Structure 1
Amino acid sequence: MTPSTTPTATATVSGLMRDISGIGQDKTRGGYSRPVFSTAETDLRHWFTEQAARRGLDVGTDRNGIVWAWWDTATGARQNAVVTGSHLDSVPGGGEFDGPLGVASALIAVDILRRRGLRPRRPLAIAVFPEEEGSRFGVACLGSRLLTGAIAADKARNLRDLDGNTYADVAAANGQDPRHMGTDRRTLQQLGVFVELHVEQGRGLVDLHQPVAIGSSILGHGRWKLTVNGQGNHAGTTLMKDRKDPMIAAAKIMVGIRDTAKNYRDARATVGRLQPVPGGTNVIASRVDMWIDLRHPRDEITAALAESIHLNAQVVAAEEGCTVSFGVESLSQTVHFDTGLRNQLQTLLPDAPVLDTGAGHDAGILTGHIPTAMLFVRNPTGISHSPDELVEDDDAEKGAAALADALAGLLGAAQVIG
């Protein structure tokens, strides 16, 4: 289809972001809470579908819940496509720009290319990936993992949220057929390259005084679940000497995680979620679940850090009369983006510095199947996964313009004649 010209002639990234700024606001945490298949995330999907349709793009959702919006060539053949896009879900109480900035910028990039009078020689697709943050079902980049086979379909279908709902059941309630989830070689064969624009989740561009950067790599990272098992009991009748309290062990283990990570240069270790069971104020917990995020540029260090944490947890738990179980929930090795594609982007965007990132992205999952790259837009606070995340309007528009320049070069776009 040929994109229309009237509805989006004056659209901007900042304008699109303002359009969705009221969706998913979290009055308790601040910021935004937009877990996958929530009302907020579903509303954002509808918003994207409407915006893409206004541009004459052919929109559809695949069997893994990924929304695709296609700008086809004159032949209509969907091969060797240039793909951009990001995600619309968020962490609990997250920032405004993490994910939606890349989606809004992709839409505006289409507008920019159209205003330049260009038409693509290769098809262009905008992709919106579900459950990128893993905030509801615990596995980050779940949509791209399903697409590429990085997670088994049965494992994904049986993931559960905190309310006990399986991913399969929730997906089915939202119009997907979970029986068909899994590796999608047909779609993968249509894709040529992927360039994801994202808010920078650090201070690199602030310190370099630049609005846009090109990504070089993603630090290896993973999520582990550690469970401390103790003895549930009455808070008022159980003497201190008679307790096997997993909460005490968990507290000591968390401090140990911090101290262990300090022994590894460039390591990051975070306990972002802690869940005592049953969770009553006047109840000694029977168990405590904690989820640990570990990251390091070298995958062997990430593995060594996880093993050290496990061993220390066993010792600490035993001292409190408790036991532990420890298992990986997701693991991504350090990703180096395609050198050839990165060099091409450096030619197209000569002023953009090259930066690595400690944050995971769908681009990192896809890199094992097609050449991928990332563009980062300056975040003046340097803070992300927080309401303090920020992108200034001028930088947002510069990011979309840089994305348009990159896409034009990759598409082999030609001037429309006549």
Structure 2
Amino acid sequence: MTAFDSLWGAILDVGQDKDTRGYRRYAWSDADLTLREWFRDSATARGMGVEEDRNGNMWAWWLPPGWTGDPTNAFVTGSHLDSVPDGGAFDGPLGVVSAFAAVDIVRARGVVPKVPVAVAAFSDEEGARFGVACVGSQLSTGALSADRARGLRDVDGVTLAEAMTRAGRKPEALGADATLTDRIGVYVELHVEQGRALDLVDRPIAVASAIWPHGRWEFTFDGAANHAGTTRLVDRRDPMLAFASSVHSARSAATVHEAVATFGKVLVSPNGANAIPSRIRAWLDARAADEATLTALVEQISAEARGHATQDGIDLQVAVESITPIVEFPEGPRARLQRALSRLGDIPVLPTQAGHDAGILSAKVPTAMLFVRNPTGVSHSPEEHAESDDCNLGAEALADVMAEWVQ
């Protein structure tokens, strides 16, 4: 059994729903805390020092012989351990498991690092519980304020601060990490591909060129609750109609702009089968190849939604929840990855439409990404997949990169 296979098997049942077979590993949930203990145990078993920083991000350190003082200019690799609702097994954990496996592979080759090496697991990357993605990395870089983070609420009204307190953490410590730029020399994130580009060209590994700009917007449609059976159609102020029309409009607008737009999360009040809704809260996820296109897309979707709302006598509020600008990974680290992987032949260079901690960290430190083939092309679903041979090859590739960087 390979290092990767052993590590991977240890977490496959954590947070998996027995009916859907999808994963529900939400930030600061029991599943999340279990995975944090697995991370700590995996690091300890390798003689790596472990810390959880002020923002809940986990770090496992492999220091060069005789190293004293704080780590600096480190080669850092990893990803995240949380999931979307009923997500797949690979999105996030593949990068963390591969990072520990790469450490084992590099050590087995007899490599002695000249700079510190760290495996990182960033907190709450998906934003599934509190609505904002990449909370741990955004806090660390200062892109998300501590006050806003502490006040984020889940659907049950529990704040992030309350959830952290229940988990034995100190939310008052949240904030920008002043040591980030000193400690990280480069951050290389390995991730399962969230699409079929590699499958279509029959290649197992790719290097990332860029991350599309993307964001989330909350649309609140306010109407009037009433009886579903006794209220005449002409007397209704049903926000569901304006919302449904807006969903169709968003799809059409995305097609025109060669982008993507999705209303994937909806809360209905009062949510009764025999009641006309009073309010629809819906979250738009929009992504485009450049920032101008993204802005134009969201402006069109918002304008058309307001038109639908006005026609149906509905009030509409649109609020920005988060916007992440385009990330173009620097040529230097990208070229270095390609050189380190030259034994694999030509390495495809691909953009990605999905957001990642590497994209957030790129504002402060050099970053790069590797993708492992996903033959289904499916992500954020139990059908997400990567073959064992490709996963092991990904860990080997990450080890090649690590070895080249730290010697």
Specify if TM > 0.5: yes
Among residues 98, 103, 111, which one is paired with 1:118 in the alignment?
111
SS at structure 1 position matched to 2:310: helix
Q: 1:114-263 alignment to 2 at 5 Å? A: 114-263=107-256
Q: Deviations over 1:266-325 (max 9, x none)?
A: x00011111111111121111100001000011011011111111111110111110100
How many Å separate the matches in 1 of 2:238 and 2:274?
A: 13
Matching residue of 1:64: 55
The question of whether the paired residues in 1 share the 8 Å contact of 2:3 and 2:104 is answered with no
Counterpart of 1:38?
Answer: 29
Q: Which of the numbers 384, 387, 391 marks the counterpart of 2:386?
A: 391
**Counterpart check, 1:372 vs 2:367:** yes
* Aligned residue number for residue 415 of structure 1: none
How far apart, in 2, do the equivalents of 1:69 and 1:208 lie? 35
Q: Tell me the TM-score normalised to structure 2 length.
A: 0.97
Residues 228 and 275 of structure 2 are in contact (CA less than 8 Å); yes or no, is this contact kept in structure 1? yes
Write the distance in 2 (CA, Å) between the matches of 1:227 and 1:403.
44
Amino acid at match of 1:272: G
* 1:102-127 residue CA offsets vs partner (Å, 9 max, x unmatched): 01000000100110111110000111
1:252-401 paired onto structure 2 within 5 Å: 252-265=245-258, 267-350=259-342, 351=345, 352-401=347-396
SS at structure 2 position matched to 1:263: helix
Residue 223 of structure 1 aligns to a residue in which SS?
strand
What whole-Å deviation, never above 9, does each CA across 1:86-107 have from its counterpart, x for those lacking one?
A: 0000011111111111010000
What is the CA distance between 1:29 and its match in structure 2? Answer: 3.6
Q: Retained in 2: the 8 A contact 1:148–1:188?
A: no
Runs (5+) with no aligned partner, structure 1 = 1-9, 413-418
How many Å separate the matches in 2 of 1:79 and 1:244? 60
Whether 2:393 is the aligned partner of 1:402: answer no
Determine the C-alpha separation between the residues in 1 that align with 2:127 and 2:79: 14
* Residue identity (%): 49
Change (3 A) 1:178 1:188: farther
**CA displacement 1:122-148 (0-9 Å, x = unmatched):** 000111011101111111111000000
Tell me, what secondary structure is at the counterpart of 1:189?
A: helix
Task: State the one-letter code of the partner of 1:135.
Answer: A
Aligned-partner Cα distance in 1 for 2:315–2:84: 30
Tell me which of 78, 84, 108 is aligned to 1:91: 84
Q: Give 1:106's match in structure 2, choosing from 78, 85, 99.
A: 99
Q: How many Å separate the matches in 2 of 1:76 and 1:358?
A: 41
The equivalent residue for 1:7 is none
Q: Shift of the alpha carbon at 1:235?
A: 1.9
- Cα offset, 1:375, TM superposition: 0.5
Aligned residues: 402
Q: Does structure 2 retain, via aligned residues, the 8 Å contact 1:88–1:99? A: yes
Deviation of 1:211 (Å): 1.1
- The 2-side partners of 1:324 and 1:189 are apart by 46
SS of aligned partner of 2:23: coil
Matched to 1:408, the amino acid is A
User: How big is the shift at 1:11?
Assistant: 4.2
Of 201-210 and 362-371, the range deviating more from structure 2: 201-210
DSSP 3-state at the match of 1:329: strand
Q: Is the 8 A contact 1:294 1:306 kept in 2?
A: yes
Shift of 1:28: 4.3
Contact 1:113 1:408 in 2 (8 A): yes
TM norm structure 1? 0.94
Structure 1 counterpart of 2:309, one-letter code: A
Distance (Å, rounded) in 2 between the aligned partners of 1:107 and 1:395: 16
Please report how far the alpha carbon of residue 232 of structure 1 lies from its aligned counterpart in structure 2 after TM superposition: 1.2
Residue deviations 1:169-227 (CA, integer Å, cap 9, x gap)? 10111122111101111233211100000001111111121111111111111011101
Shift of the 314–28 alpha-carbon distance from structure 1 to 2, 3 Å rule, reads: farther
Deviates most, 148-157 or 22-31 = 22-31
Post-superposition Cα deviations, 1:237-264, rounded to whole Å, max 9, x if no partner, equal 2211100001111111111111111111
- Flag as ranges the 4+ runs of structure 1 deviating above 3 A: 27-30
SS where residue 192 of structure 1 aligns? strand
Distance 1:310 1:371 in 2: 35
Cα deviation 1:42-95 (Å, max 9, x = unaligned) = 111111110111000000101100010000122134110110000000011111
Listed as ranges, the gaps of 5+ residues in structure 2 are: none
Aligned-partner SS, 1:374: strand
How many Å separate the matches in 2 of 1:63 and 1:237? 55
